[in-house]
Amino acid sequence: MSAPAAGLDAQQRAVDTLTPKSTPKSTPKSTPRSTLPASPGSTSRSTSPTVADLWRAARGPLAAAAALLIVATLVALVNSRRTAGALDPTATDPSGARALAQLLRDRGVVVDRIETVEGGTANAGADVTIFVPLPDRLPPAAYGSLATSPGDLVVVNPDIGVLSVLAPAARPDGSAPEGARQPACALPVAVTAGVADVGGSTYQPKPGVTGAVGCYAAGGAGSLLAMPRSTGGTVTVLGSPTALTNASLDRLGNAALALGLLGAKARVLWLVPPAGAAVAAGSHDRTVTELLPAWVRPALLQLLIGVGLIALWRARRLGPVVAESLPVVVRAAEAVEGRARLYRVAGARDRAAEALRSGARSRLIDSLGLPPDASPAAVTEAVTGRVRRPSAAVDDLLYGPPPHDDAALVRLADALDALDEEVRRQ
């Protein structure tokens, strides 16, 4: 059935009346109709979203995103004063040391937070305490200048490499559990502080070294070791940072110990290298990225852009996938095949044999012209009348006991076929 020519003429007229700016909706509905029912309107309607539609759809989520951004910025601003960082003089978290820095300042000690050794120790003079809370973050090159700088030096939990440069007279001994401990020594700072939270690594002066005092020993070596430096002043090694942190400063004699260690001189240079400083400045091996030629990175970036454009090209479909509900596909014999498999799995030879026998009987009854409800005896008699077989054998075949195994079942089926064939032939 094709569209009548009249419909097409009307359509042409409709097109002629269209002005360039008119919308599809203004087209007169001139559907070519045939005699069939359900002829739908055939003028198109654009279903793509306009800019206004997009704006209408997007403004809700955009407003939500903007609100989220504003809240996040406010929270960040509020929290920006709180910085984190272990033993950082500006950090207010439990492992920070802002409380200690504040106490020092209250006592008239100048606390300067420096990030590199070069930035602070050079012209510091001798009336200064250099505090190194995180020695392993320092680039190895910094140890040398630290070792030669004048003033006191307080190092927290140094390893053997740091120790050999900054306090060559000491050696690590082992470790002790952290906990409240008696000073048990003659060091004035420790005696003033009394019981404090000390522990962690333990240190001992090397044999033959004089003037070294070990405190807070848990049997043997001490977790706090003070000894004179070759440049004047003293170097103090502390086994754990616990006593200095915001969390523990107000316990026992921790505050007194910390103030005693750091507040002896007029100024504290608090050395807090940024994380990763040791790696960046320390390794002089050039990495793979540094070895690449200069053009490789921009070219890779451009490759990424190119592949991205190709992905966008390929990913944009020409219209959505059309879904269609499909009919059910069920083979009519599926139930029969399923039942056969069940018989087989269950070994239901009795039922299978009975089905085969009853099928064969009904075929025999048909070909012998017996009534459908003929008795077993009548069927046996009629069959033996046709074929030369003993009546007992025929009766056993048609009405006998179920076969005892699958092989017997197969034989039974063949025997029934043979009997049927024989009856037909006679």
Which positions from 40 through 59 interact with other proteins, judged by CB under 8 A? 40-48, 50
- Residue 350, C-beta contacts closer than 8 angstroms, at least 6 positions apart: 402
Listed in sequence order, the residues at least 6 apart from 36 whose beta carbon sits closer than 8 Å to its beta carbon are 1
Question: Least distance in Å: CB of 338 to other proteins?
Answer: 8
DSSP 332: T
Residues 295-314 that bind other proteins (CB under 8 A): 295-299, 301-303, 305-310, 312-313
- 258 vs 327: CA distance, rounded Å: 83
Give residues 355-394 in contact with other proteins (rule: CB under 8 A): 355-356, 358-359, 362, 372
We find the least distance from the C-beta atom of residue 14 to other proteins, in angstroms, to be 8
- Residue 11 vs 380, nearer CB to other proteins: 11
Beta bridge partners of 270: 113, 131
Of the candidates 187, 278, 352, 419, which one interacts with other proteins according to CB under 8 A? 352
- Interacting span for other proteins (CB under 8 A) from 174-182, 231-239, 332-340, 389-397: 332-340
Residue 89 in tokens: 């003089």
Q: Which is nearer to other proteins, 65 or 310 (CB)?
A: 310
Question: In angstroms, what is the minimal distance from the CB of 399 to other proteins?
Answer: 16
Tell me if residue 44 falls in helix, strand or coil: coil
387 vs 413 by CB, closer to other proteins: 413
User: Closest by alpha carbon to 226, among 243, 211, 244?
Assistant: 211
Q: What are phi and psi of 278, to 5 degrees?
A: -65, -40
Count of alpha carbons within 13 Å of 104, Cβ hemisphere only?
A: 31
Give the SS3 label for residue 113: strand
Site string for other proteins, 259-298 (x = CB under 8 A): -----------------------------------xxxxx
Distance of CA 242 to the CA centre of its chain: 34
Rule CB under 8 A: say whether 17 interacts with other proteins: no
User: Contacts with other proteins in 80-119 (CB under 8 A)?
Assistant: none
Give the binding range for other proteins (CB under 8 A) out of 73-81, 175-183, 381-389, 411-419: 411-419
Q: How far is the CB of 162 from other proteins (least distance, A)?
A: 41
Q: How far is CA 92 from the centre of its chain?
A: 31
**CB-based contacts of 170, cutoff 8 Å, min separation 6:** 163, 203, 204, 205, 206, 209, 212, 225, 227, 237
Please, which residue, 276 or 401, has the CB nearer to other proteins? 401
What is the rounded (10 degree) CA torsion for 203, 209, 215, 218?
A: 50
Binding-site member from 330, 390, 401, 404 for other proteins (CB under 8 A) = 330
Least separation, in Å, of the C-beta of 280 and other proteins?
23
* Stretch binding other proteins (CB under 8 A), from 218-226, 275-283, 337-345, 383-391: 337-345
